[in-house]
Amino acid sequence: MSETFSRGFDHGNYASAYVTEDPTDALGETTGDLREGILLGFYSSYELHEISEEYREEVRALRIKWKEEL
């Protein structure tokens, strides 16, 4: 797991718990591992059906991609 992904995951998890209910606010203009980490961290405690349609498929694919490393 990359350090960038790990920082993103922590950021997304914190944002979801304490800052915002909208992942768009947490994502900003991020890309790559940082974006993926933020999304997975933000939605770490959500079931897929609880995630907005805008991000549901992306989160599903990222959970598969990063499963072995999480």
Domain ranges of the chain: 3-66
pLDDT for the residue numbered 1: 72
Give me the chain's average pLDDT, please: 92
What 3-state DSSP class applies to 59?
helix
pLDDT at 70 over 60: no
Q: Is 58 exposed, middle or buried (0-12, 13-18, 19+ CB in 10 A)?
A: middle
Does pTM top 0.95 for this prediction? no
pLDDT at 67 over 90: no
Could you read off the pLDDT of 3-18 as tens digits, one per residue?
A: 999 999 999 999 999 9
Q: What is the mean pLDDT of residues 45-63?
A: 95
Q: In whole angstroms, what is the distance from residue 17 CA to residue 55 CA?
A: 18
